[in-house]
Each structure stands twice: as C-alpha cells, then as structure tokens.
Chains A and B, each alone.
Chain A
Amino acid sequence: MSPSLLNALLMLPALVLLAIVFAWPLLDAAWLSTQASSVLTGLNPIANGGANWQRLLGDARFWQDVAVTLRFAAVSVGLELLLGLAMALVLHRPGRGRGWLRALALLPWALPTTVLALGWRWIYNDPYGPLNAILRAFGAPPYGFLTTPATTWLFTVLADVWKTTPFVALLLLAGLQAIPLELEENLVLEGARPGQILRRLTLPLLRPWISLAVLFRLAQALGVFDLVQVLTRGGPAGSTESLALYAYLNAMRFLDFGYSATVVIATFLLLLLLTAMGWLLLVRRPLEASR
C-alpha cells in the first residue's frame, strides 16, 4: 500500500464523522430552508420556493436579532482581547505559584456556561443580588440589571467577558511564551520602557495569536446561545435575543423547522462573511505585506 493511501485511510474515519456532523447539517438546513415544514404541514417538508427567505427579509424580529448579535459580538470580543492581553501579561510574569494562578484564572472558562449563567442571574438579581447590595450600601436605589431593555445587553456582555477572557489569555500566553527572551533583554539594555517594549516587540510578535483569538471568539460570539438562553431568555422585550436563540425558538417553541433552518443558514452566511473578512484583514494582508 502506498504511504499516501495509508495516510488517507487513517484519516478517513475521523473525516467521515466530521462530514456527517458538520457538512451534512448545513446542506440539510439549506435544503430545509426552501421547504414549509411546521405544525401546519405535520412537520412534513413541502417545497415552498423562496417563501421562507421572503419572510426572513421582512421579519423585523430577525433584523433586530442580527443587530443584537453583532453588537454583542463586537463589544465582547473587543473587551476580551484587551482584558485577555492584560491577563496574559500577568500570567506570563515569573513568580512563585504561577501554575496555581494560571489554573485559578482559567476556572471561569472551564466551568459550564449554563451553570455560570445561573450564577450571574443571581448576582444581577433585583433586589437581593450582591450588585444591588453594593448599590444599596451607597444609598442608590436597586437597579434591574436583567429587566431594563436599554442596558441588559451590557450585562450579558459582562458575563461573557468574564467567562471567556481566560481562553483568550491562554492563547496569547502561548504567543508570549514563543517570544525569545533575548529580544526583550536587548530592548531593556537599549533603555526601552515597558510601554515601548509592548508596542515595539510584544504586540507585533503576538499578531498571529491575536488574529487566531479574534477569529475564534468572533465565530463563537456570533453563535452565542447558552448564555442568553439561561441568563435572560432573550429578554427583556427581545433586547438580548441572539440569532441562535431565535433559530432555536423557531424550531422548539414555534415548531417551524423550515423557518428555523432559514435563520440557521442566514446566521451561517453572516458568520462566513465576517470571519472571511476577518481572515483577509488579519491574516492574509499582513502575510502579503511581509513578503
């Protein structure tokens, strides 16, 4: 047997499973988005041309969810990057107990999102939660962190940032560890201040890891589901409803599989567009510029 054939055979089982679980669902959803399949049809698919897509274009709730999801992704990924960089720099500094520090800092990322979302629901509780206890201590009236439509999204962002910053920090830590120590020592000998070292050496060399973190977190944030489903259920007044939650509700609550598939595919296309743009801006262009 030729080595190439053997390699292909070794990879085959894993690749087949990947195709069944990733490629097939997307193809199936794309097909289902052209079908009427709801309680009205007994969940049997009946071709209805572009009716689902026409409905999507005029669906104000869908477009609001697009805006909510984009806002959530942009703000949380931005904050995670800044805080993750700070966290990685702290975790990189040598010192006693660094291993423990890393493990403890990583905890929020390792624990289940639904469990932590339930925890945050209690932290935000009006009026008994600790945040309101702090407000009370300053003589301020209690605040409805999860019941004020204008601001609740900020508190979903905060919970997400708390949960996923450690992961970004871990990726950037990998980048920091790959920077040769001599480079920094040279700059120190030249009399560079810490801020200059960060700007001239650390950030440029971290660029590939920052790009990787942005692409990964962007894709995950655009599909945010667990957190909003448990923390706010999309409320108040739909102000935190993400696209993934809308797709889920269409299938499991409204029993409209055809339209749910349409929302899934629309979300996928948005995701594809934004990650492709991210890829071109963050990875391709710098690569070409460096040639």
Chain B
Amino acid sequence: MRGLLLLWSLAPLAWQLYTSLVTPEALVSGSAAATGSFWTLENYRQVWLADPPIWRYLLNSAVVGGATTALTLTLAVPCAYGLQRQGGRLRWAVTLALLATAIFPTVLLFLALLQLARALGLANNLLALSLPYTALCLPLAVLLLRAAFAELPPELEDAARLEGLNLPRRLRHVLLPLLAPSLASTAILVFLFSWNEYPIALTWISRPELLTLPPAIARLAGSSLFTVPYGAFAAATVLGSLPLLLIVLIFQRSIVSGLTQGAIKG
C-alpha cells in the first residue's frame, strides 16, 4: 500500500526530473543519439541563463513570500489572541467570517484587486503584492493560531499579569515562546501559499523581471521560446519545486502536525 502511494505521488515528479536531465533525442527515442550522449545539464544551463534568468523568479517569489509571512504573523497573532479571549456573539461572527473566507476561491477577487492596484499605483510592485497575499492567508493563520492559544493554560497568563507584565510583554516573553511550533507551522503554510499563488500575481505584475515563479512558468508554457520536447520546461519546474521540496522535507513534522492539530482544535 505504501509503495503504491509513493508511486502515485512521486512518479509524475520523477518523470519531470528525468525529462530535465536527458537530451531531446534521448527523450524522444529513449536511447542516446548516434552522435550525442544520453544525460545532459544543457536544459538547466538554458533556463539559468535565459533572460530573465530563472533565479530571478525564485528570488522574487522568496521576497514576496518573506514579506507575506512576516506581515501575516504580525496581524494574525493579535487577532488570534483577541478572538480567543473574546466570548459571545462577536467571537462566533468573526469565526464564521474567517471560515467563509478561508474556503473562498481567491481567483474571484482578481478583477477588483486589479482595479485597486491600478488606482493606488501598486501594480508591478513585489512588496505591494504581499498585501493581498496577507489578507488571503489571514483566515487560516488566525484559525490555526487561535487553536494554539486555546491550548495554553489560562493560569499562565494570569501569573504573568500579576508579575506586572503588560500585554505586549506577556505575548513576547511568555505566550509566543510557547507557541513557537504553531508559529512555525503557520509561517510555513503562509509561505507555501504565497509561493504558489497565481491569478493575482498574473494580473498585478507585468514586467518580466518582476514576475514571481507561477506566472513566469505559465508564461514559459505559453511562449514558443522552448519548443517540444520539454527539457527546458522540466528544468524550470524542477528548479521551481526544489525550494518547496526542501521546506516540506525539513519541516514535514511541523507542517503535518500544524495542520492536523489546527483542524482538531479549531
């Protein structure tokens, strides 16, 4: 069963890796051409030296991802704390609104957000892109962090209050250190979302050197720059997946537990 599961999940990815590493002739015929070799790094050289080079897109995505993660946590922590402390109708209404926005397909927002970007001069600005991204990540982040706050014993904060610590210091020195695992898994999920978001990046960014990875890849797919066979496409997809692959493998425990714990408690 486990073997079948791994085959299903990894075979398409392995095929991309293979495609990226062989010569076009080898890809089509399955054997080395009469003149050439079978394996090659030419596809990687091609996308690495393209104009703009692929590392530029990776860098752009990392910048947006970093800014989005920082901004989301900054807004989500106080909101989650307030929501957890709040009782009654307000709490119920806010939770319902967060759930509704969490499942909302964000592509339906692209038109008005595009107009907003144009009106405020935010188009073609990577840091500005992190504003809508933050909003799109907030519902999930607040729900996960509220569940984490609910886990902490209330006596803990009472004791800190008696010590004379005000709210910012209670959060900073007492509560947040205990929430470190939840903060980490929330941050990773926000970064994943930001790295993968497509429709808003597609409509906000038009200058090639500012594209994030998803629209850049889509643009690559639409261009005739690289013709079939797909060696260069595959090299781009491998390089675009690599950072996330590392994140998922390094933080697998906190991603899985972060999501499952959040779902159980939330």
- A residues adjacent to B (C-beta < 8 A): 3-4, 6-11, 13-15, 17-18, 20-22, 24-26, 28-29, 32, 87, 90-91, 95, 99-108, 110-123, 125, 128, 130, 133, 162, 166, 170-171, 173-175, 177-178, 209, 212, 215-216, 219-220, 222-226, 229-230, 244, 247-248, 251-252, 257, 260-261, 264, 267-268, 271, 275
Whether the pair A170, B260 counts as a contact (CB closer than 8 A) is: yes
With the chains together, A101 CA to B6 CA distance in Å? 8
The answer to the question of B208 belonging to the interface, with a C-beta cut-off of 8 Å to chain A, is no
* Smallest CB separation, B215 vs chain A (Å): 7
* Smallest CB separation, B12 vs chain A (Å): 6
Q: Which of B27, B108, B167, B218 makes the CB contact (< 8 A) with A114?
A: B218
Inter-chain residue pair count (beta carbon < 8 A): 265
Using CB atoms, name the residue of chain A closest to B75: A14
Whether the pair B110, A248 counts as a contact (CB closer than 8 A) is: yes
* Smallest CB separation, A229 vs chain B (Å): 7
Q: Is the interface of A mostly helix, strand, loop or mixed?
A: helix
Whether the pair B108, A110 counts as a contact (CB closer than 8 A) is: no
Whether the pair A174, B218 counts as a contact (CB closer than 8 A) is: no
Asked if A107 meets B248 with Cβ closer than 8 Å, knowing A223-B105, A261-B111, A267-B108, the reply is yes
Contact with A along B55-93 (1 / 0, CB 8 A): 000000000000000000001101101110110001000
Whether the pair A125, B230 counts as a contact (CB closer than 8 A) is: yes
Using CB atoms, name the residue of chain B closest to A218: B103
Whether the pair B115, A120 counts as a contact (CB closer than 8 A) is: no
List, sorted by A's number, 11 A–B pairs whose CB atoms are closer than 8 Å: A11-B78, A17-B75, A17-B138, A25-B112, A25-B113, A87-B5, A102-B252, A108-B12, A115-B240, A170-B259, A209-B263
* Smallest CB separation, B27 vs chain A (Å): 7
Whether the pair B9, A178 counts as a contact (CB closer than 8 A) is: no
Using CB atoms, name the residue of chain A closest to B263: A174
Whether the pair B108, A268 counts as a contact (CB closer than 8 A) is: yes
Contact with A along B217-233 (1 / 0, CB 8 A): 11011000000111001
- B residues adjacent to A (C-beta < 8 A): 1-2, 5-6, 8-10, 12-13, 15-16, 19, 27-28, 30, 75-76, 78-79, 81-83, 85-86, 90, 94, 97, 101-116, 131-132, 134-136, 138-139, 142, 167, 192, 195-196, 198-199, 203, 213-215, 217-218, 220-221, 228-230, 233-234, 236-237, 240-241, 244-245, 247-249, 252-253, 255-256, 259-261, 263-264
